[in-house]
Amino acid sequence: MKNMDKRALHLTGAALKGEIDIPGDKSISHRAVMFGAVAEGKTTIKNFLPGADCLSTIACFSRLGVKIEQEGSNVMVHGKGFGGLKEPSELLDTGNSGTTTRLMLGILAGLPFHSVIAGDDSIAKRPMSRVVKPLAEMGADIDGRHQGEYTPLAVRGGKMEGIRYSLPVASAQVKSAILLAGLQAEGETMVLEPVKTRDHTENMIKQFGGTVEVDGNCVKLQGPQSLHAADIMVPGDISSAAFFLAAGAIAKNSSIILKNVGLNPTRTGIIEVLQQMGANIEIIPNQAESFEPAGDIIISSSNLKGIEIGGDLIPRLIDEIPIIALLATQAQGRTIIKDAAELKVKETNRINTVADELTKLGANIVPTDDGMIIEGRTGLHGAAVQSYGDHRIGMMLAVASLIADGEILLSNADAVEVSYPQFFDHLYSLAQA
Ligand code: S3P
């Protein structure tokens, strides 16, 4: 995200009306392409998210010799099984995507060839030994800067053995990398999570004809397994919907409908937070059966109150914390966010970037070691702010323009392309309705 695209946002007092279709889930879109690539046969994906991160996943698998046809949100993956992937002659460039980087490592670990994986400046600062360590224990040879902590990482994969592994941090990416390696390994692979994280990989394994057992926080599978092509319908991304859930709650005289939002219980922490804060929110589950639950959400202007957020709830809303911080500035009383030190190793250090940028808008927010404390309600004002190339920081600051008095000048606004290319179109369409 090197482009310093600047956007002037002046939506003060706009009432939001109307409805939008929430674009496809980022986590599920990545996994649908990855599983399609390592399965045998033609996988079709509908409502794929054509954001920069998921396009990086497609580009990496193309370099591994997989034919992938993509037109907007329709994708066809011509999978040839794990064994059909070829040694890449070029670097596997994962762009800004942590999910691509970490999950790909799990796949590459079991393949008998050499590859080098790297992404942008943000990826180069994100911890990778959390994945490298268990994969090395399973038999892969992976090295990178600082003893394998940072990209570029060189992988020589090959024969893998199953592993029993207790995750030191709650991370769906690490769990998924180990499971993807386990599908190629001899014997049982078992992952124990300290707190349950998103389970899209487990759901995908079943969807592609594999077998996985889930018992509370323990996930187990037997390897090796071969997978078969599937037709995947991706639900809308609740992490993208979250920006408009917050917008609808804090903008005056507003009522909006967000269509087709994924409602997997490992992702719905934001809905519980809004309910606890006193938001006017209604959920209408889809009747149609799907491998991941989904529904429409109606959100209207709300009188919010501050709450405490921590513990097991954190992994269920980890990506929503930037927008929750903005909500908290508009809630009566104090909001405390704790147990969220993982925020420091996201696309940016989100404890710092959220606190710094909201402070520029006049918020009363104090960063802590594992979260932040926000005093509300505060009137926000316009200022020059920036996303630091972090999509979720950019979208949070753009939503703030609905309530800030004056203009918000947002630098690096194009970061939203990572997960929500239509974000600004959706914001303006709801504000003009
Ligand atoms: C993701 C898992 C989470 C989340 C990220 C997507 C995934 O990261 O923050 O945006 O698709 O598995 P961690 O596994 O690092 O917590």
Domains of the chain: 3-24+235-432 (3.65.10.10), 26-221 (3.65.10.10)
Instruction: Find the residues whose C-beta lies inside 6 A of ligand 1.
Output: 27, 99, 171-173, 176, 198, 318-319, 342
How many CB atoms neighbour CB 211 within 10 A? Answer: 11
Strands 213-215 and 218-223, sheet pairing: antiparallel
| % of the chain at pLDDT higher than 90 | 97
Span 183-209, average pLDDT: 98
Probe residue for ligand 1, chosen from 129, 130, 198 as the CB with the greatest number of ligand atoms within 8 Å: 198
> How far, in Å, is the centroid of ligand 1 from the Cα of 128?
13
Strands 255-262 and 294-300, sheet pairing: antiparallel
> How far, in Å, is the centroid of ligand 1 from the Cα of 406?
35
pLDDT (tens digit, 9 = 90+) per residue, 31-55? 999 999 999 999 999 999 999 999 9
Can you give the pTM of this predicted structure?
A: 0.98
Q: Are 284 and 298 spatial neighbours (Cβ–Cβ below 8 Å)?
A: yes
Q: Give yes or no: 405 in active site.
A: no
Angle at 400 between CA 394 and CA 403, to 5 degrees: 165
Number of helical (H) and strand (E) elements in the chain, helices listed first:
13, 24
261 sits in which H/E element: strand 255-262
β strands within 338-431, DSSP E: 364-368, 371-376, 381-386, 405-411
Q: How many CA atoms lie within 13 A of 121 on its CB side?
A: 6
Residue-averaged pLDDT of the chain: 97
Cα–Cα distance measured from residue 53 to residue 113, given in angstroms and rounded to the nearest whole number: 25
Q: Are 178 and 163 spatial neighbours (Cβ–Cβ below 8 Å)?
A: yes
Span 332-354, average pLDDT: 98
Cα–Cα distance measured from residue 135 to residue 177, given in angstroms and rounded to the nearest whole number: 8
Cα–Cα distance measured from residue 158 to residue 98, given in angstroms and rounded to the nearest whole number: 23
pLDDT score of 433: 59
* Whether residue 2 has pLDDT greater than 80: no
pLDDT score of 290: 80
